[in-house]
Homo-oligomer: A and B are copies of this chain.
Amino acid sequence: MKILWVFAHPEQRSLNGSLMAEGLRTLEELGHEHRVSDLYAMGWKAVVDGEDFGGSTRERLFVGREQERAYRERELSQDIRAEQKKIAWADALVFQFPLWWFGPPAILKGWFDRVLVQGFGFGVEGPGGRILRYGDGGLAGKRALIVTSVGARESGFGPRGIHGSMEEVLFPLLHGTFWYTGMAALPPFVVYGADRLTESGHSRDAAALRERLRTLDTTEPLPFRHESGGEYDEDLVLRPDVAPGLTGVSAHRARDGETPRGPRERERPGAPTRSRTR
**Residues of A bordering B, CB below 8 Å:** 10-11, 13-14, 40, 46-50, 60-64, 98, 100-107, 109-110, 112-113, 116, 134, 151-153, 155-156, 158-165, 168-169, 171-173, 175-177, 195, 225, 227, 232, 235-238, 246-252
Contacts and interface: CB of A to CB of B under 8 A. Distances in A.
B252 A162 contact: yes
A274 B195 CA distance: 40
Contacts of A225: 162
Contacts of A40: 47, 49
B63 A10 contact: yes
Nearest to A39: B47
B101 A237 contact: no
Contacts of A100: 48, 112-113
Nearest to A242: B160
Nearest to A225: B162
A48 B106 contact: yes
A47 B106 contact: yes
Contacts of A177: 101-102
A34 B255 CA distance: 48
Contacts of A164: 171, 175-176, 248-249, 252
Contacts of A232: 162
A60 B16 CA distance: 12
15 contacts: A10-B49, A10-B63, A11-B61, A13-B60, A46-B107, A47-B106, A48-B100, A63-B98, A101-B176, A102-B176, A155-B236, A161-B237, A163-B236, A164-B171, A248-B249
9 tightest A-B contacts by CB? A106-B110, A102-B176, A102-B172, A155-B235, A159-B247, A156-B236, A164-B249, A162-B236, A160-B238
Nearest to A158: B237
Contacts of A159: 247-248
A7 to B, nearest CB: 14
A81 to B, nearest CB: 19
Contacts of A104: 109
Contacts of A151: 64
Contact of A250 (B110, B248, B252): B248
B249 A165 contact: yes
Given A101-B112, A101-B113, A169 B172 contact: yes
Contacts of A246: 160
Given A11-B62, A46-B47, 11 more contacts: A10-B49, A14-B61, A40-B49, A101-B172, A101-B173, A102-B176, A103-B172, A155-B236, A159-B247, A160-B251, A248-B248
